[in-house]
Amino acid sequence: MSYFLKKTTPSKKGLYLQIYEGKYIPGKGKRNFSFKSLGYVSDLKAKGIDDPIAYGQRLVDELNSADVKQIGDVPVTKNLGYFLLKIMLDALDIDDTLRIMSRSKKLRFDMPGFLRAMIYAQVVNPGSKLNAFEKVLPALYDCETFSYDQILDTVQYIGEDYQKYIDLFNHQITKLYGRKTEKTYFDCTNYYFEIDFPFEDKQKGASKELRNSPIIGQALMLDAEQIPIAMTMYPGNQSEKPFLRDTIEGMKTRYDISGKVIQVADKGLNCAQNIYSAVKEANDGYIFSKAILGTSLSQSEREWVLYDNDVNVWHNVYDSRKNLCYRYKEAVDSYEYKFRSSDGRGDIHFTVKEKRIVTYNPRLAKKKQSEIAKEVEKAMGKISLKSAARADFGDCAKYVTFVAKDKQGKVHKIRPQINQDKIDEAMKYAGYNLLVTSETAMSAEEIYNAYHQLWRIEESFRIMKTYLEARPVFLQTKESIYGHFLICYLALTTLRLLEFKVFGQTVSTAQLIDYIRSFNVTEQSNGEYINNLTKSETYQAVEKVLGIAKIGQLYLKKKDLKAILDAWI
């Protein structure tokens, strides 16, 4: 074992100093690992160190002569919690295929080690790739590190053909656990970029955050067990609706799926062309929600939603305490749809036998009515401002009428006024939801339960945006950005496999992330490590499922840390 001072220039800030530790790894030869980051030369000088390079070399000499395991009497703390991600990736057995895939690149490092390290870093401490280089990878116990240039170049490389890495994971997941694709859950989101002008796939479109910045779209699909199975990135100015068709078709082709797939999606993906593609072209099925207000339903169909007689009877569903959860009614009929043909020559008309289920949730009704009241209050406040324009009203504009005309039919003056009819209609239908499906043989409760599993895909987006910090993106080229989102996707997939397949949903993905981040060990001068992990539900679940007794010990030796990292599921 030996130490040396590594000097790199990762950014415009200048020279960056790290102490590296050289180790002999059986079967792999000598490998270098970051032992401690000292920082930029300019920052060290600002702290009063006149010659940072000489200072760093002195520390290296002390380590090599005395085999000291701490610098400046400050114990070195490393993250060990990433072992959960490691053992899941070990079980997937992806390394050999990754090495074959990267042969043409002629990398000077091990591709499996790189992809693993990027997944670990995205979960342990997400941020920029510079942050991963400077702080995160060096703080992972016994994890291979890479130069900043290697990280940037390879993230771009994997982004150039990101679907192949998704294919690899899906192939190995199918081998290990199988895949259930009789139902798939699909939704889209987007990520904004704080740039002035659109560039490549960063284009202006309808933003989920209601911003006017360029965005990139992301389509995500989960299998019947709520585990990610597909991801597609697309320009922000494109409609999300075609990507449901494209992703389903691509999934069935790539993974040789010949059976029927029921597509489950929210009203944003519900359009005549998607329905036609599902039932007329692919012989698949669908469960979509449908907007009650607006133009998607006729007046007679909206009246049916509220209508109640001996035929359209409501059925109540109660919880274990006999409280009303929701009520529903259903009807089966043939419904006509049409959409514009792709060649623009005319409309395509078709008929589908469809089951429609309307549900009413009293708790949802109260929530919606409260939201409507707040929007109306906001609109009234805007109306009181004489200079208010349509753009100032935002989402509450739907409760406002803007154009007034004089007697000659000319626009005299735009006067925003509260539209009471719209408010009354919105209040009346608050709490109601309409589901439409081709699966007429499924019971209403089966359809309701299948549709309401969509919260999992919304949760997946939330995990990527919050816990994994998919945004902000500190990269510029399309390929690098796609490589970044691939890493986020693979991290999410690995976490979901742990949640569903290893721990049987006894702990959530959020709890797993907290556990991974909090499991740190601090090295002592005698070569032992202090375990900083505190007891929790996740702690107990990991100990029980994996059977690693050493996890609970205060003092750990190197052989104990190796045993934890080498655990198997």
Bridge partners, residue 333, by sequence:
354
Taking alpha carbons only, the member of 241, 231, 175, 174 closest to residue 206 is 241
- Name 315's bridge partners: 328
Domain-terminating residue out of 43, 75, 107: 75
pLDDT tens sequence across 391-430: 677 777 788 887 665 556 565 566 777 888 889 999 999 9
User: What are the DSSP calls for 400-446, one per residue?
Assistant: EEEEEE-TTSSEEEEEEEE-HHHHHHHHHTTTEEEEEES-TTS-HHH
- 34 and 47 housed in the same domain: yes
Examine the domain organization and report whether 319 and 399 are in the same domain.
no
Q: Check whether residue 26 and residue 103 sit in a common domain.
A: no
Residues 132 and 257 both lie in one domain: no
Whether residue 542 sits in one domain with residue 403: no
Within-domain flag for 93: yes
Q: Span 452-461, mean pLDDT?
A: 91
Of 42, 75, 108, the residue that ends a domain is 75
- Whether residue 105 sits in one domain with residue 71: no
Domain containing 282 equals: 163-361+431-465
pLDDT at 24: 62
Domain-embedded: residue 215: yes
Where residue 529 falls among pLDDT bands split at 50, 70, 90?
Answer: very high
Look at residue 48 and tell me whether its pLDDT is greater than 90. no
19 shares a domain with 116: no
User: What is the pLDDT, as a whole number, of residue 332?
Assistant: 93
Question: Minimum mean pLDDT among 183-192, 207-216, 353-362, 483-492: which range?
Answer: 207-216
Distance of alpha carbon 469 from alpha carbon 560, whole angstroms: 32
Regarding whether 506 and 459 lie in a shared domain, the answer is no
Give the CA distances from residue 366 to residues 298, 431, 449, in Å, rounded to whole numbers and listed in that order: 26, 7, 21
Q: Do the Cβ atoms of 159 and 481 come closer than 8 Å?
A: yes
Same domain, yes or no: 181 and 321: yes
Distance CA 502, CA 490 (A): 17
How confident is residue 51, by pLDDT bands cut at 50, 70 and 90? confident
Is 446 found in the same domain as 308?
yes
Give the highest mean pLDDT range of 86-100, 369-383, 410-424: 86-100
CATH number at residue 245: 3.90.350.10
Query: What's the total number of domains in the chain?
Result: 4
141 versus 477: the higher-pLDDT residue is: 141
Residue-level pLDDT at 55: 87
Q: What is the pLDDT of residue 36?
A: 81
- Looking at the predicted structure, is the pLDDT value of residue 225 above 70? yes
Residue 386 lies in a domain: yes
455 in the same domain as 332: yes
Domain membership of residue 486 (yes or no) is yes
Residue 470 lies in a domain: no
Last residue of a domain, one of 52, 75, 98: 75
Is 473 part of any domain?
Answer: no
DSSP 8-state class, residue 550: G
- Reported as a pLDDT band with limits 50, 70 and 90, residue 152 is very high
pLDDT at 68 exceeding the cut of 50: no
| Same-domain status, 394 and 283 | no
* pLDDT(70) > 50: no
CB 5 within 8 A of CB 19: yes
Mean pLDDT for 23-28 is 60
The predicted structure's pLDDT at residue 403: 67
Bigger pLDDT: 249 vs 74: 249
Query: What percentage of the chain exceeds 90 in pLDDT?
Result: 40
Q: What are phi and psi of 20, to 5 degrees?
A: -110, 150
558 assigned to some structural domain = yes
Structural domain includes residue 474: no
- The C-alpha atoms of residue 317 and residue 330 are separated, in whole angstroms, by 14
- pTM of the predicted model as reported, rounded to 2 decimal places: 0.78
φ and ψ of 8, to 5 deg: -130, 165
Residue 26 has pLDDT above 80, yes or no: no
